[in-house]
């Protein structure tokens, strides 16, 4: 067989398999997160991205193991802290596609504060939340998106709390791209992901990604007959009030799709004049001597 030249390697089209990590997922058989992982690989392929152009940042939880299963740069950070780490990475290298993945407990519970502020800052990130309405990794405790009356290990008589609605919360905090997907509808989900990655600014996709082991209330049979796509109706993605009304429906109809998009607002990076010229910060000279840099590092250690 002839050797492959560097030129051939550069122009070879990417396939979804190119984004397969070295490690196979250890998720439970049937976990919704498989559909999210496959959709993300497909979306990256369709956008013609290459593994070295992508950084995936996650927090802690079953779904936060995703960077290990994806061939790209990856960071598995602290519980709830993926968004600030991703913000720093994006500002350090604004040419990189930065995707953040995690779960509802990680992102809306432990990391709820970061969620609010990353939304309002309009950082150019794609945030994919695998929302299974429970803490799966810690074996089934109530989470911020668990339904009222749901019985879990930590709420044996049923949860008395109202669930957090990430869609209305993101909209009211000024998000510029807000969508909801379902891991049982991977083609639609991959389409939302391509739009979110292409969007200039913060893009949230909250994905119903059932935990088949610990949440027997909101499983695939619960969602399948209820899910309706906004794209199949005449939904106006510039109308935030209707978007909120549709996002609050939780009964025989539960909507997925793109609720809201604002296309013409600058992202945080575009407002930072220091990023205007000279390329990514990470490729610029440090501006400190070796000795000064070493002094700073020593002081912080």
**Residue closer to ligand SF4 (CB basis): 26 or 95:** 26
Q: Is 270 in the site for ligand SF4 (CB under 6 A)?
A: no
Cβ distance 189 to 35 under 8 Å? yes
Q: Is 223 in the site for ligand SF4 (CB under 6 A)?
A: no
The residue within the footprint of ligand SF4, chosen from 54, 62, 247, 254 (CB under 6 A), is 62
User: What b/e string do you get for 199-208 counting C-beta neighbours within 10 Å, with b at 16 or more?
Assistant: bbbbbbbbbb
Neighbours of 291 (CB within 10 A): 8
**Residue closer to ligand SF4 (CB basis): 108 or 214:** 214
Q: Is 213 in the site for ligand SF4 (CB under 6 A)?
A: yes
Which of these ranges, 78-86, 111-119, 145-153, 205-213, lies near ligand SF4 under the rule CB under 6 A?
205-213
Q: Is 31 in the site for ligand SF4 (CB under 6 A)?
A: yes
**Residue closer to ligand SF4 (CB basis): 100 or 258:** 100
Which of these ranges, 25-33, 50-58, 106-114, 218-226, lies near ligand SF4 under the rule CB under 6 A?
25-33
Site size toward ligand SF4, by CB under 6 A: 12
For residue 37, the minimal CB distance to ligand SF4 (Å) is 11
The residue within the footprint of ligand SF4, chosen from 208, 214, 223, 259 (CB under 6 A), is 214
Q: Is 212 in the site for ligand SF4 (CB under 6 A)?
A: yes
Cβ distance 134 to 163 under 8 Å? no
User: Closest by alpha carbon to 132, among 202, 213, 186?
Assistant: 213
Gap between the Cα atoms of 111 and 105, Å rounded: 8
For residues 105-134, which are near ligand SF4 according to CB under 6 A?
Answer: 132
Residue numbers at the binding site for ligand SF4 (CB under 6 A): 27-28, 31, 33, 62, 132, 136-137, 211-214
């Amino acid at each position: 067989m002839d050797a492959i030249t560097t030129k051939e390697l550069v122009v070879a089209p990417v396939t979804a398999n190119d984004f397969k990590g070295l490690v196979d997922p250890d998720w439970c058989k049937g976990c919704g997160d498989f559909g999210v992982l496959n959709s993300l690989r497909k979306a990256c392929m369709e956008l013609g991205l290459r593994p070295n152009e992508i950084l995936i940042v996650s927090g802690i939880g079953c779904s936060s193991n995703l960077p290990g299963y994806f061939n790209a740069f990856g960071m598995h950070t602290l519980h709830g802290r993926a968004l600030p780490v991703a913000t720093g990475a994006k500002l350090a290298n604004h040419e990189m596609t930065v995707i953040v993945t995690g779960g509802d407990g990680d992102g809306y519970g432990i990391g709820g504060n970061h969620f609010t502020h990353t939304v309002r800052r309009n950082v150019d990130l794609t945030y994919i939340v695998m929302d299974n309405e429970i803490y799966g990794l810690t074996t089934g405790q109530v989470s911020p998106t668990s339904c009222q009356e749901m019985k879990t290990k930590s709420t044996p008589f049923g949860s008395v709390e109202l669930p957090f609605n990430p869609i209305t919360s993101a909209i009211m905090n000024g998000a510029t791209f807000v969508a909801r997907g379902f891991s049982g509808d991977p083609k639609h989900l991959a389409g939302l992901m391509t739009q979110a990655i292409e969007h200039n600014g913060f893009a949230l996709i909250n994905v119903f990604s059932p935990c088949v082991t610990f949440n027997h209330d909101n499983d695939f049979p619960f969602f399948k007959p209820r899910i309706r796509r906004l794209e199949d109706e005449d939904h106006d993605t510039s109308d935030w009030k209707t978007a909120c009304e549709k996002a609050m429906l939780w009964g025989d109809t539960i909507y997925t799709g793109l609720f809201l998009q604002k296309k013409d607002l600058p992202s945080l990076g575009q407002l930072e004049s220091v990023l205007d010229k000279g390329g990514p910060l990470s490729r610029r000279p440090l501006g400190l001597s070796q000795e000064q840099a070493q002094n700073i590092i020593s002081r912080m250690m």
